[in-house]
Amino acid sequence: MSGDDDLLEDLLAGKHRALARVISKIENRAPGYRELVSDLYAHTGNAEIVGITGSPGAGKSTLVDKLAETYRERGETVGVIAIDPSSPFTGGAVLGDRIRMASTVGDMDVFVRSMSARGTLGGLSTATADAVKAMDAFGKDRIIIETVGAGQNEIDIVRTADTVAVLVPPGSGDSIQTLKAGILEIADVFVVNKADRPGADRTVQELLEMIELGDGSSGFSSSGGGHHGMDAMSESGSSPHSSEDGGEGEPDEPAQPDESAEPETWVPPVVETVATDGTGVDDLIDDLEHHRHYLERSGTLAERTRRRYGEEIRTLLREDVHDLLQGELERAGSVDALAEAVRTGETDPYTIADEALAPLERCLEELEGERLESVSR
């Protein structure tokens, strides 16, 4: 048995040291990591993956800490991947191990790992998705991904998380308008953290109005998480309904079965939290659960998973083809030399690209020819 086989066996046996070593191997792209990740896939698919994103200073780390603590109180194990800015010198995570996540220190059933954004759009690298696989195979019930917080670039998180919570600090004012272009589309739950501060009521109301306009309907069609979400729907004469929260229908109507109560579309609820003392965290977890159940019963979870794996395949192909072409360009001469040739008029970028791709195209044509020949036999 090889060392990697032993490592995989230890990870599946629930040894945290093995989990840490596997993630390090993944993040460093050490020899053999691809085979290791491939072996992990057969043991994944059980964890629920939540993404926490939002602007810097919204209190993401403190909220993630309280989420992990509350999940543990409910008897669930937790894995946390905190995406930090990359060091310009080492490429590693600048903040390292999160000192702000203090509530679960010493709890071996909460595994926290800081990872470098490595300059990727949205702060998520391919290594992050692979690290999620490692935590899933390890047996973590909940996996939380906390992103850098770079505004609309956080859209990449939807490729890895089943449910995305977007944090909006109170008093955001006109900045909420910037959410419309991208964040509104990826948020499954909005969280107004630091809700005890001035401006929280206004921020909640602006979010509710933005969601209503984005939904194109007169009100919510799903659970309205948070105090203000419930009040807003009561005032409008509509009632929150979700198969999980037992939402009230008309007084003279009997309760409907869970499946019929499930909304056809999901409208993001707005939850108010004060992460420093845990206020609203239980409500947030409930809404995350409601969304998970909606995904399962609507068939959306399967579709999201397919899209995620499709994106992983495309990403790996891009990376691998890039590496192959980089090698081909180096054999043809350094990129700087080729660029100089373009500058002096000897060639052009399109010709260089065509020449670099030619061997790959010939190889693919030969493989296709062999495939057709084998089929015709």
CA distance 31 to 285: 39
Scan for tokens 């998970």, then name that residue.
292
Torsion of CA 194, 196, 199, 203, to 10 degrees: 60
The pair of three-digit structure tokens given for residue 350, joined into one six-digit string: 């399109």
CA separation for the pair 358, 376 (Å, rounded): 27
Helix, strand, coil percent content, the chain, rounded in steps of 5 = 55, 10, 35
Position 183 scores a pLDDT of: 66
Query: Which tens digit of pLDDT belongs to each residue from 167-197?
Result: 888 876 555 655 555 666 788 999 999 999 9
For residues 47-69, average pLDDT: 90
Q: pLDDT tens, 127-176?
A: 889 999 999 999 999 999 998 765 545 666 767 899 999 988 887 655 56
Position 259 pLDDT exceeds 50: no
Q: What's the confidence (pLDDT) of residue 7?
A: 95
Q: Cα(21)–Cα(38) distance, rounded to whole angstroms?
A: 16
Pairwise CA distance, residues 246 & 221, whole Å: 14
More confident residue, 153 or 314: 314
pLDDT band for position 294 (cuts 50, 70, 90) = very high
pLDDT of residue 308: 87
Walk across the sheet containing 189-192 and list its strands.
110-116, 78-84, 142-146, 48-54, 163-167, 189-192, 270-272
What mean pLDDT is reported for the chain?
A: 78
Buried b (16+ CB within 10 A) or exposed e, 28-40: eeeeebeebbebb
pLDDT of residue 149: 67
- Name the range with the highest mean pLDDT among 112-121, 143-152, 173-182, 348-357: 348-357
* C-alpha span between 223 and 39 (Å, rounded): 39
Q: Is the pLDDT of residue 243 over 50?
A: no
10-19, 337-346, 366-375, range with the lowest pLDDT: 366-375
Share of the chain above pLDDT 90, in %: 40
Confidence of residue 285 (pLDDT cuts 50, 70, 90): very high
Which of the two residues, 196 and 376, has the higher pLDDT score? 196
Q: How far apart are CA 305 and CA 161, in angstroms?
A: 9
What confidence tens digit (pLDDT) does each residue in 78-102 have?
999 998 764 433 444 444 444 445 5
Cβ atoms 104, 113 nearer than 8 A: no
Q: What is the mean pLDDT of residues 352-366?
A: 87
Does the pLDDT of residue 355 top 60, yes or no? yes
pLDDT at 240 over 90: no
- Confidence (pLDDT) at 8: 95
Question: What CA–CA distance (Å, rounded) separates 302 from 298?
Answer: 9
